[in-house]
Structure 1
């Protein structure tokens, strides 16, 4: 009986670890897709990584913005063309699963444009919604 209990414990532990690895990779895939879409100059595709909800929260240099549509409009206003968007790279520092359907991400961003190279940091809260990881809070500076 004791051997069966130990075996079950090991199976559950390995299964939980595998799910965490899978979720972390899925989150990294969302961020990589966003980066790729940005570098194609496709803001609407980039926005697919965000929760399409009025409750989406984006916090930037101008303070908080609520809602997917308003966030999209702000991106389109701030980055009206491919030249303004530049070439985006991320430096992912940390991906922490804080619950089975919530994760925290810390990273850096860097834009390479013809005349400048703005950069900064971001913290993200992602939720697994209908089996898909989405950014629900983005604080970028």
Structure 2
């Protein structure tokens, strides 16, 4: 009887355990990506950039060009997507989120940009790092 009571107690404790750190990290990262979709779809590129590390050490690789710096990346977005007709509606399809270390993850996915001037699709790999307790994109490679 003691063994059954012990097993029951262990089962109850295990079923009430909090979400794992990995699950919490995934949810936090997905929340950022979901907010980025909303910001992009409102043509709020500065809001979209809140997911990125505001540093000169941010790296963005696209169109066979490596850019560095948060402001450089924002300026490029503002130039290439000056209004809603260019930015359109963004939808991410997240394929993989995987830990690199306890404070960094890579995210692989696809983007779909629907717009009147012509749709755009492609793939990306971004690296998130926990900086001062917040998840930020420190590198982005999109094609």
TM-score range for the pair, normalised by the shorter chain length: 0.7 to 0.9
Distance 2:87 2:128 in 1: 24
Segments of 5+ residues of structure 2 without an aligned counterpart are 1-9
Note the C-alpha offset of 1:97: 1.3
In the alignment of these two chains, the number of paired residues is 131
2:28 aligned to which of 26, 36, 40: 26
Deviations 1:66-109 (A, max 9, x none): 00000000000000011100000000000001111100000000
User: Does residue 1:102 correspond to 2:137, yes or no?
Assistant: no
Note the C-alpha offset of 1:115: 2.9
Segments of 5+ residues of structure 1 without an aligned counterpart are 1-6
RMSD value over aligned CA atoms?
A: 1.7
Q: Secondary structure at the match of 2:20?
A: helix
2:89 aligned to which of 87, 90, 114: 87
* Contact 2:86 2:117 (8 Å CA) reproduced: no
Normalised to the residue count of structure 1, the TM-score between the two structures is: 0.88
Structure 1's consecutive aligned runs of 4 or more residues displaced over 4 angstroms after TM superposition are none
Note the C-alpha offset of 1:62: 4.1
Distance 1:115 1:127 in 2: 35
Q: Secondary structure at the match of 1:31?
A: helix
Normalised to the residue count of structure 2, the TM-score between the two structures is: 0.86
Distance 2:118 2:107 in 1: 26
Distance 1:138 1:29 in 2: 17
Q: Give runs of aligned pairs for residues 1-141 of structure 1, distance below 5 A.
A: 18-141=20-143
Q: Secondary structure at the match of 2:86?
A: helix
